[in-house]
Structure 1
Amino acid sequence: MTTAKPDIYSPDLYIAGPPHELFTELRRIRPVFWQDMPGEPGYWAVLKHADVEYVSQHPELFSAESGGVVLEDMEESRLAALRGTLLAMDPPRHRAYRKPLVKSFTAKVVGGMEGRIREICREIFARLPEDGAVEFVHDVTSSLPTQVIGELMGLPPEDWNHLHRLAERTTSQQDPEVGGTEGDGYGPGAAAREMVGYAIGFAAKRRAEEPREDLTSLILESEFGGKMMTDADFGSFFMQLVTAGNDTTKTMLAAGLHALLTHPEQLAAVRADPSLVPGAVEEVLRWANPLHYFRRTATQDVELRGVRIKAGDKVAMYYTSANRDEEVFEDAQSFDIFRRPNPHLSFGFAEHFCLGVHIARLEGRVFFEELLATFPRIELTGEPRRVRSNLNNALASLPAYLGR
């Protein structure tokens, strides 16, 4: 550690990859670490696995709803829209909104989607260039989650790509090449507002039609906390479901190929034995988790590892650090598809454990089974580029060769 105060907030720090050495040192000396922010109050970074679990387990002490889930304080209109998502609801409201959807996301129900997901993967691979040259992030990985969430929600296929782009812009606002700028109409919050507006119009259209067997009809016909959703409620809810279903899954798939290609002995092992794919997906999720953190806001004075956190303070649960906590994971910095057990926190924990966990795992498993079966030769053809973001742990591009 240098004498200069560490900075784990700056988005520029993450362009070359997560600062794992810095996280390792901070876990040792300051596992609950105060980080300043430019132009607004800083936050407490929670870096240990057990402490991230603790914050997750105590929404009465650490609220998602009070200040939202990102470090930057939002204007009230944006925060109000965010509070309409499961991601930023506290109990009991969170439970009331989650309960009607749980049956649609069980392992048994999701398992019935495997055949269709396999078909989609094969269709994607069949459309790729004959010469094998691809930009893997957008030519390959984007299409699967876009189509899966589109079919689940009953969205018009002609809108899928646009909605995927809005999801990508929403999670990557710190990178102007990905998230857009004021100049092109996509300043802070613009993509999210556009998606909410789309969803409000979509809800109104669907209410005028006969119900279908899809997630949209289920949401529009269900009671949440004793009342039906308005079109505006649906807009906020839709934004989270589509964004989570699109962008984080794309991130997982691209990170997974990069991890395997940079660990060729483990790629060879997975090729030789496809039963290793589920374990490989879990290790990708641990080693290259799609999101670095989520924020909470302290509702009262509380102490964590001897640090006094005041009511109103921001608190960030750093999954990127917790997933490499040496007290939980042996040889924590190594990528190891044989790791058992693997209690990573990439799907969250406790109240906010990811509703779509079974879909994400199924998409990951089927995608890599089909990718490795279809392309006996896969190589990197250039340097990957990362998204400039302290939130989104993603590759912006991954040049590759897929040889049939």
Structure 2
Amino acid sequence: MTGSTAVEDVIPDLSDPRTFVDAVPHDGFRRLRERDGLYWQPAKASPARGGYWAVTRFEDIVAIEQDPSAFTSTHGVSYPMIFPFPAPAPMCDNLMFTDPPRHAGLRRAAAAGFGPRVVANFDPWIREIVREVIADVESVTEFDYVDKFARTIPAYVIAKVLGCPREDRERIVDWTNRLFAAGMQTEDGMAAQIAAVQLVQEEIQAYCADMQERKRKEPADDMFTALAKIADAGDITQSEFLQWTLLILAAGFETTHTAIGQSMRMILENEDIRAATDRAVDEGISGKLANEFIRVISPAMQMARLATRDVEVAGTQVLQGDAVVLYFVSANRDGSVFAKPDTFNPWRTETATLAFGSGVHRCIGSYLAKLEVQILFEELRAAGIRLRLNGAPKRGWSNFINQITELPVARA
């Protein structure tokens, strides 16, 4: 195993969510990128050998994600929930928990509905949602930006994509908040965490099954209808249908939720970023602006894989059964890929980030997430909304999602 006592003294415990409570430990990640090989992170919650390999460089992560035969997703996709589990488990039918060739078939069931050309057509109704949210705070001088914007916009958008009735939008907000709150690692242990997540998932899936029946009777141009038809044709199973709708709802919410909240925090804490944001919108490059915010934030800080055989990565021998945790939040600040990686620069030419992963598991919702962030900043600029901090931001308790749970603001 690589690493020494001296190095471990200055590298924070990446397995502990407490490490991320105040801020992402970017200095620690930089030191790891500068070292040869992979870093062995001792961990209490571990699939094997008392720890896992931390992968922090852009090139190494891409190489692992391009080799699903050596690094499987079938035993979990993020730390700490990465371990072998019995095949009948429901998550076995979740796209994220599959490898090729099965992954390709499942992905085709919904991927076409999230392609760049299709998502571009969403602009008018997403803009309508954003304007509605902005109008809701026009007469309010103080509010929580996470509550009013970061939670609401992505939940409303995903509800529209799926085809949920308008009156169900607040249920989507509630479910997604509870789902990711349950997924935060707590002192109660892994079993309690898994049980809490499954409880919320069962509620969501009961709703999705009900919507499936409603769309059979009243089909529409939405994902519930499309997936229900595919399930009825026998191209996916009922369990795969439920896992797909759960994935769209949960993953479609969280990445954008975090990007919206953290991007505003960056603006309110740094006048240079505020000025760059205004200039980028005025120059018509709000798409590049959204991409840069998402790179710097890296909403999903990591994903994980399990080695299916002994394999060498970056000169490090990884053994069969070892977990490798892919730190996107580090790779997106890799100086060998990005010029001045810690500097916020919407005009940068290096735009291929790992914020949405790479390879076969690249997030199908990436174009939608970017469009929501892009439209939000265009509409905030058009409405002349200027905010200031009105208290201390609060981060989430998670070593997985770069969450912000509270952002008190007031009119500037």
Task: List per-residue Cα deviations over 1:315-346 (Å, max 9, x = no partner).
Answer: 11110111111111122122222222222100
2:248 equivalent among 241, 244, 263: 241
Compute the displacement of 1:103 (Å).
2.6
2:104 equivalent among 95, 104, 112: 95
Distance 1:359 1:377 in 2: 25
Per the alignment, residue 215 of structure 1 pairs with 223
Distance 1:272 1:153 in 2: 34
The DSSP-based 3-state class of the residue aligned with 1:189 is helix
Distance 2:324 2:276 in 1: 40
1:11 equivalent among 17, 24, 46: 17
Compute the displacement of 1:219 (Å).
0.9
2:127 equivalent among 111, 118, 122: 118
TM-score of the superposed pair, with normalisation by structure 2: 0.89
Contact in 2 for aligned 1:283/1:336 (Cα 8 Å): yes
Per the alignment, residue 179 of structure 2 pairs with 170
1:21 equivalent among 27, 37, 40: 27
Distance 2:105 2:59 in 1: 27
The reply on whether 1:378 has 2:387 as its aligned counterpart is yes
Compute the displacement of 1:161 (Å).
2.1
299-308 vs 257-266, greater mean Cα deviation: 257-266
Distance 1:106 1:382, change over 3 A: same
Distance 1:65 1:363, change over 3 A: same
Say what the alpha-carbon RMSD is for the aligned residues: 2.7
Counting only pairs closer than 5 Å after superposition, residues 345-360 of structure 1 correspond to structure 2 as 345-360=354-369
2:267 equivalent among 240, 260, 263: 260
300-309 vs 104-113, greater mean Cα deviation: 104-113
The reply on whether 1:154 has 2:163 as its aligned counterpart is yes
Distance 1:333 1:269 in 2: 15
The DSSP-based 3-state class of the residue aligned with 2:182 is coil
Number of matched residues? 399
Task: List per-residue Cα deviations over 1:249-299 (Å, max 9, x = no partner).
Answer: 111111111122223233224324521322221111111110110111111
Distance 1:127 1:104 in 2: 30
TM-score of the superposed pair, with normalisation by structure 1: 0.90
Distance 2:273 2:305 in 1: 37
Distance 2:173 2:83 in 1: 23
Distance 2:85 2:135 in 1: 46
Contact in 2 for aligned 1:67/1:79 (Cα 8 Å): no
Per the alignment, residue 128 of structure 1 pairs with 137
The reply on whether 1:60 has 2:69 as its aligned counterpart is yes
Question: Which amino acid in 2 is paired with 1:380?
Answer: L
231-240 vs 12-21, greater mean Cα deviation: 231-240
Distance 1:7 1:273, change over 3 A: closer
Distance 2:55 2:215 in 1: 43
Distance 2:339 2:13 in 1: 27
Question: Which amino acid in 2 is paired with 1:213?
Answer: D
Distance 2:389 2:88 in 1: 41
Distance 1:168 1:270 in 2: 28
Distance 1:29 1:217 in 2: 50
The DSSP-based 3-state class of the residue aligned with 2:39 is strand
Distance 1:284 1:273 in 2: 12
Distance 2:338 2:61 in 1: 15
Distance 1:23 1:29 in 2: 10
The reply on whether 1:313 has 2:340 as its aligned counterpart is no
The reply on whether 1:228 has 2:252 as its aligned counterpart is no
The DSSP-based 3-state class of the residue aligned with 2:140 is coil
Distance 1:39 1:263 in 2: 37
The DSSP-based 3-state class of the residue aligned with 1:130 is coil
Contact in 1 for aligned 2:262/2:404 (Cα 8 Å): yes
Contact in 1 for aligned 2:260/2:373 (Cα 8 Å): yes
Contact in 2 for aligned 1:11/1:174 (Cα 8 Å): no
